[in-house]
Amino acid sequence: MTDLRALIGELASALAGTSVAVLQARYHRGGSSLHTFDAAGRPAFADTGLALHAALPALDEALRPAGEARPLVVELVRDGAGHAELGYTFDLPTVAPARLILDPGYRSRRHSASPSPAPAGVAVTDRPTHPRVLATVRALVAEFAHEYERKTGRAPRLGAGHSEKDIRAAEAAMGLRLPEDLRALYRTVSSDEEYGLLGAGALLHPTVWRLRLASGSPVAIGTLADLPVLSHLDLSAADVKDLRRLTELPGLRVLELNLAQWRELRECGALPPRLAAAALNGFAGLREVDEWADWLREAAGQG
């Protein structure tokens, strides 16, 4: 049986002479991640080679009970005298940052469940691409080429379109018929490595549904009420004065905060009611993360 005390000693020895006071790690099925912090909770670098990663499989063997399939999360805390204390849990999926899924059925915008159900009317047929759609797409591609050449001084490098036979072969392999506009695009061009005409994301809908704020100036939650489909909000690097108003954002499903912000929400009883996922960003001790996770799970009816 693996000697747990010896393993703790090996980890502490590997960190000797460094500024690392806290080591947090996740190990699952041979994969591992490590995060190191100084006594103030700031990220700290430790040049230990592979020693820390190499110790995790043995720790997993020593700590994992029979039948436990969840990831192992461990924390090693060192004091100034060189003493080390190990904590661990199988109740957290991640650490540094800690993330929780509270509604497994929730999907973010543009991230449908996989595999997505096939829509109606997609059976593979020999019907050619609709001529009116094909003409429209070809006109749009021609307009793109004209504007691109006007802007850059050269014509775009667009590959020649595919034949109906090529497209039908691809559809047969996939087991579904492509939408008419996509078929028309493949009939018109086979590749497009050009960019810069419209700018990144210019064709995306301008609706803001995910937002990360990082500012030394105070952020007012009330101003976010004008974003009706805002569902994912990260305030962990922002100075927020009215966190309790998060409950006024009815579409909020994913929330990322730091430890102090989560504590404030808990103290004022202002947890958004429909959270599907949550993240605790920045440093937090394993005991604090456990308490945070227990609180959210209980609020979501998972406790």
User: Using DSSP, how many helices (H) and how many strands (E) does the chain show?
Assistant: 7, 11
Residue 113: predicted pLDDT: 66
Which run of H or of E encompasses 28? strand 22-28
CA-CA distance, 77 to 20, in Å (whole number)? 9
> Per the structure block, which two tokens stand in for 219?
């952020």
Amino acid 280: pLDDT: 98
Query: Residue 151 contacts by C-beta under 8 Å, 6 or more apart in sequence?
Result: 196, 197
Cα separation, 284 vs 290, whole angstroms: 10
- pLDDT tens sequence for the chain (303 residues): 468 888 898 888 889 889 999 999 999 988 899 999 999 999 998 888 788 888 999 999 999 999 999 999 999 999 878 789 999 999 999 999 999 999 998 888 766 666 666 677 788 999 999 999 999 999 999 998 898 889 888 888 888 899 999 999 999 998 889 999 989 999 998 876 655 444 444 444 556 788 999 887 888 998 888 888 899 999 999 999 899 999 999 899 999 999 999 999 999 999 999 999 999 999 999 999 999 999 999 998 876
In this structure, what token pair is assigned to residue 77? 């805390």
What per-residue confidence (pLDDT) applies to 195? 52
AA letter at 250: P
All residues at 6 or more sequence positions from 216 whose CB lies less than 8 Å from its CB, including other chains: 239
Strand order in the sheet with 232-240: 98-101, 277-281, 254-258, 232-240, 210-219
pTM above threshold 0.75: no
- β strands within 132-287, DSSP E: 158-160, 189-192, 210-219, 232-240, 254-258, 277-281
Q: What's the rounded Cα separation, in Å, for the pair 136 and 114?
A: 32
Do residues 27 and 57 make contact, with C-beta atoms less than 8 angstroms apart?
yes
Task: For residues 282 and 43, give the distance between their C-alpha atoms in angstroms, rounded to a whole number.
Answer: 9
Q: Are 102 and 277 in contact (CB under 8 A)?
A: yes
CA distances from 61 to 8, 12, 76, 95, 229 (A): 13, 19, 17, 20, 46
CB 32 within 8 A of CB 56: yes
Give the pLDDT of residue 152: 86
Q: Which amino acid is at 272?
A: P
Q: What pLDDT is attached to residue 203?
A: 47
Provide the 3-class DSSP secondary structure of residue 211: strand
Q: What is the pLDDT of residue 206?
A: 56
- 88-94 long-range contacts, CB within 8 A, separation 24+: 88/59, 88/63, 88/286, 89/286, 89/290, 90/64, 91/290, 91/293, 92/289, 92/290, 92/293, 94/26
Interatomic CA distance for residues 240 and 165, integer angstroms: 58
Distance CA 239, CA 236 (A): 8
